[in-house]
Structures are given as C-alpha cells and as structure tokens.
Amino acid sequence: MITLDVNWTDFKAFVDGYAIAVQWVIALGQYNLIANHDRITLKCTIAIALVSAGDQLDFETNYMAKGNIVQPMIPSPFGSKYLGNKKLYKRVIGVNQLLIIGTTNIIYASTLAIAKMNAIEIINGQAGDTLNFYVLDTVAGTYTGTPNSVIDQYGFASNVSKDYYAQKSEFDADIPLGVQLKIAYTSIGIKTVGVNFVMNELKLA
C-alpha cells in the first residue's frame, strides 16, 4: 500500500480521475480528507476559515455532499460496466520484441489516461522461457517519488508455455497514464515474441 500526503489540487485530480467519493472528518479545525483506490491512498487537509474561499470553498461546494458514500458498480450490456461516472472499454495493446538468449526487458508505458490491467498474452514463446512481470512508476516518479521504481510485481519466474501463454488476474490492477509495465523475459533462444497487454480503459460514460 502506498500512502501519500498531497495538496488539494493533486487530491481532487486523483478523486476525479478514479470517480471515487472523498472520505472526510472535521478535526483540529480542519477538514481531514482521504481517498483510497486499489493500493494507493491519498490524504489531504484543508483549514476551515469563517468565510469559505479557495480550497475550502471548492471542497464544500463540489465534493463535501458527495463524500463518505460508497459508489456501487452498475453492470451494463455487451461486456462493459459502469464504474462511478465512467465506463470500461476493452483495449488490447500489442508489441513485438526481439529476444536474445538471456534476459530482455520489454517495457510499455501506458498511453491511456486511466486503465485497468487484467491479462497479458505471449505469442511465440518457448518451453523453458520464464518471465518476471513488474509495474513501475512513471519516469517522473509520480506515485512513489522515485522515477521508474517498482510499484508491484505480479510474475515471479513464471514459466512460459510453447507458442501461446496467457496470465489473467481475477483482480484487475489500475494502470494510470505513464505507469510502466515491464516484462523481464528470460529466453532460451533467439526469437521474436508478441506481447498483448489486455486492459480496460476508463472513460466518461
């Protein structure tokens, strides 16, 4: 779990981006806000003045009444679903990579504003190949403060099957814009493999 203390501008961008409700309490003469999504938790405080202005006015006007509410997922037809005020659209992003004997890093930086990763596919793999699968922070270190640092690891020397390999998670992982998906692929032969990153993009419904 990653927990960050941020300013109001960054906090509300996170809340708006994931369409989640703000959890808040009043204590020590300020609003104490928290927003949690997957493995990331953001915290923010706003001082309470007698006359609302600036961040306080923005929060009280646009977020306060909608806070402390759990937002349900509403299923819809044709294999899609609503998440808050957003809808999921399936996206399959493919890359091709020439492999050497040994380990080659395959890295894709997300080009989608907000997406949920739920599977990877490897085409033209070879029995005996293995892979480690990582999620890395952006090149600017947006979420951890350290550029390109490991946020999580999902594959640990996973064995690749011949010709076609797929790994699907029952619990989708959030991949914001610029977050990097890294496959450290250890190959026993020289070849080109295809990789499909299977995701769902969140867009305004």
User: Token pair for residue 36?
Assistant: 């949690």
Paired with 119 in beta bridges are 168, 198
Query: Can you give the pLDDT at residue 84?
Result: 57
Per-residue pLDDT tens over the stretch 148-171: 999 988 889 999 999 999 888 766
Query: Can you give the pLDDT at residue 40?
Result: 84
Distance CA 54, CA 148 (A): 34
- The phi, psi pair for 202, rounded to 5°, reads -95, 120
Asked whether the beta carbons of 154 and 135 are under 8 A apart, the reply is: yes
Give the ranges where the chain is alpha helix by DSSP (H).
8-18, 54-62
Query: Radius of gyration (Cα) for the chain, nearest Å?
Result: 20
Sequential pLDDT tens for the chain (205 residues): 578 899 999 999 999 988 888 999 999 999 999 998 877 889 999 999 999 899 999 999 999 998 987 655 444 444 445 555 567 888 999 999 999 999 999 999 999 888 888 889 999 999 999 999 999 999 999 988 999 999 988 889 999 999 999 888 766 678 888 999 999 999 999 999 999 999 888 876 5
User: DSSP letters along 127-185, please?
Assistant: BTBEEEEEEE--TT-TTTSSTT-EEEEEEEEEEPPSSEEEEEEEEEEEEETT-EEEEEE
Domain ranges of the chain: 2-62, 84-204
Asked whether the beta carbons of 127 and 161 are under 8 A apart, the reply is: yes
Asked whether the beta carbons of 122 and 184 are under 8 A apart, the reply is: no
Q: Which pTM value belongs to this model? A: 0.60
CATH number for 84-204 (one of 3.40.190.10, 2.60.120.730, 2.40.50.140, 3.30.70.20): it is 2.60.120.730
Query: Can you give the pLDDT at residue 88?
Result: 80
Distance CA 126, CA 81 (A): 36
